[in-house]
Structure 1
Amino acid sequence: MPELPSVEIFKEYFDKTSLQQPITDVSVISPEILMETSITEMKESLEGHKFTESIRYGKYLFGKLNNDLFLIMHFGMTGYLHYDTKNSSKYPRLLLKFSGGNFLAFDDARKFGKLGLTQDPDEFIEKRRLGPDALEVNFEDFQEIFRNRKGMIKPLLLNQNVLAGIGNLYADEILYQSRIHPLTHADQLDDPEWEHLFKNMKNVLHKAIEHHDKIKSLPESYLLPHRYKGGKCPEGGELEIIKVGGRTTFVCSKRQKMKED
């Protein structure tokens, strides 16, 4: 599933390819992915208008139109954006044609993505009860949202109502870099460990964006290039595979030690 780094890269791609071009035609190919809007409303809101900027929040991308509406994009498991001159997207679910003849497709093979419209992204974020954006949150707010929580740290990092943007892969990496076992409960961490976790969260997300979210291009000292069955921990020994909150989780037992109650 696209996580925050992917969506930040989608934002950069969207900004580079799709701004300031009048939209001349809108095709809603898979209306089942629309949320709280209709084909007619989507077409009327987009046709004849253009995108002026974009905003990313967590795993959501908002494309601002010159009619004060925003196109909401959530990429599900397999969604991405495809811009070209020939409409060669493999699985277009929404297809926009620009006045210059180019196309932008919301491509999504498994159709788990969602598209909608809003007049106010902040109101949408509040309605969805999303936590602070993981890339933008400061340390004081980061501490505050985890204060008095006693659950396991990995499910808390994955909970979009606690912190928006982190998914299964980068949660594993952040905890690996922080030397924290994913089964550790939040109230077991001391202040230096919280500071270390916060710093590594930022570093990992920025590094992923820098490497265009290509796992194999990340440093060898990272967990993710080795995150597969039989993979070796960069510090030695085979990675352990466990379930945490129902999610497949990779752990380096040499580096990530369980805390005693």
Structure 2
Amino acid sequence: MPELAEVARIVHFLRQHLVGKTLSKVQAQHDDVIYGKVGTSAAEFQKAMQGKKVIGAGQQGKYFWITMSSPPHAVMHFGMAGWLKIKDTDTYYYRSDKPADQEWPPKYWKFLLETSDEPKSEAAFVDARRLGRIRLVECPADEIRNHTPLKENGPDPVADKDIVTAAWLGEKLKSKKVPIKALLLDQANISGIGNWMGDEILYHAKIHPEQYSNTLSNDQVKELNTAMHYVCSTAIDVLADSEKFPEHWLFKHRWSKGKKNQSSTLPNGDKITFLTVGGRTSAVVPAVQKKTGAVSKDVNEQPANGTAANSKRKRGVKMEEDSEFDEKPDVKSRGSKKASASAVKEDEEDEEKPSVGRRRSTRSRK
């Protein structure tokens, strides 16, 4: 699932190609899930956008929006596999090598936008799995975050860095008794953090993902806050292009899970193991991420070669099966695997269980 950094990538391209331009042509194909589940329709979307000028684009975590010259405004969410394409522009943090993906209009489009201003831009929202959402919000442009669905979500660690401080985070952690990884993934607490970003943040903070949030020391809270801002801002600065992530990041070395005779190891030799937290596969570096307080349960760790260190059923712990979705895309950043029904609620929109899949890039690997 596109996370905070990947969504920031799209906001960048929206500002570059659509903001300041008038939409001369808008087409929308009705989908009773993508539009209908949030109370609108393709016809309403088309009418609301047609002929208006795009005056801005913004983001709160995994949600993003385009504000128009007059209300309503479009607020969107990619779900598991949605994306926004701009004709003749590489907006991808992944890219398929299928020739059909170069076609225009693209397959599985939900709306098409075309500007009248030169140079003309064409954009398309695509979603094969129909887990994304497109809605209209009736309000002044500068009040969009005060309305559903944004008001129900927590602050964005980049857009709201003045809110997401060590003091604020400490109070949030103390108010709940849940595994720290689950707390980070819950969008009601903090917007935008998904599976890979959560793992990266906890690795840099040297915190075990299963440790209860209310057991972290003041020093650990400070480390967590620092790590959160570091990971989020760094990933956004490079527009989620993982080729440009620092070489020592966990992200660069975690993708051997489930492959025989391969192990995931950091450049310094520390091994990466895998466990399940809140229904998600979590990458952990045991040499760094020690359990310093109570944890929600004993967890079986799984080496990167797929051979369980202990039986999957030992102590009643269920470990996630390997899947191709846990493999690294060829070049750029990836989406996270959908949680099971019992897992932490990631956000209000993820109501369906998608099938497992992965994304590839056409850019050659180095």
Which of the five TM-score ranges fits, normalised by the shorter chain? Answer: over 0.9
Task: Please report the RMSD computed on the Cα atoms of aligned residues, expressed in angstroms.
Answer: 1.9
Q: Distance in 2 between matches of 1:209 and 1:148?
A: 29
Q: Specify the SS of the correspondent of 2:58.
A: strand
Q: Distance in 1 between matches of 2:245 and 2:42?
A: 41
Task: Say yes or no: does 1:250 pair with 2:283.
Answer: yes
User: Deviation string for 1:120-150 (max 9, x for gaps)?
Assistant: 4223346762111122233133333223211
Q: Which residue of 1 aligns with 2:247?
A: 220
Q: Which residue of 2 aligns with 1:112?
A: 131
Q: For 1:239, which of 268, 272, 280 is the aligned residue?
A: 272
Q: Which residue of 1 aligns with 2:29?
A: 29
Q: Distance in 2 between matches of 1:112 and 1:185?
A: 31
The answer on whether the counterparts of 1:236 and 1:254 sit within 8 Å (CA) in structure 2 is no
> How far does residue 191 in structure 1 lie from its aligned partner after superposition?
0.8
> How far does residue 95 in structure 1 lie from its aligned partner after superposition?
0.8
User: Deviation string for 1:26-55 (max 9, x for gaps)?
Assistant: 222252311211122111101011210112
119-128 vs 97-106, which deviates more? 119-128
Amino acid at match of 1:8: A
Q: Report the identity percentage.
A: 30
The answer on whether the counterparts of 2:212 and 2:293 sit within 8 Å (CA) in structure 1 is no
Q: Specify the SS of the correspondent of 1:104.
A: strand
Query: Normalising by structure 2, what TM-score?
Result: 0.67
1:34-53 equivalences in 2 (<5 Å): 34=35, 35-53=38-56
> How far does residue 199 in structure 1 lie from its aligned partner after superposition?
0.8
Q: Distance in 2 between matches of 1:181 and 1:256?
A: 5
Task: Say yes or no: does 1:138 pair with 2:155.
Answer: no
> How far does residue 165 in structure 1 lie from its aligned partner after superposition?
0.8
Q: Distance in 2 between matches of 1:128 and 1:108?
A: 25
Amino acid at match of 2:28: V
The answer on whether the counterparts of 1:14 and 1:81 sit within 8 Å (CA) in structure 2 is no
Q: Specify the SS of the correspondent of 2:152.
A: coil
| Structure 2, gaps ≥5 residues long | 89-102, 258-262, 295-366
Task: Say yes or no: does 1:83 pair with 2:110.
Answer: no
Q: Distance in 1 between matches of 2:111 and 2:240?
A: 24
1:164-175 equivalences in 2 (<5 Å): 164-175=191-202
The answer on whether the counterparts of 1:71 and 1:117 sit within 8 Å (CA) in structure 2 is yes
Bigger proportion of residues as helix? 1
Query: Normalising by structure 1, what TM-score?
Result: 0.93
Q: Which residue of 1 aligns with 2:13?
A: 13
135-144 vs 104-113, which deviates more? 135-144
Bigger proportion of residues as strand? 1
Equivalenced residue count is: 261
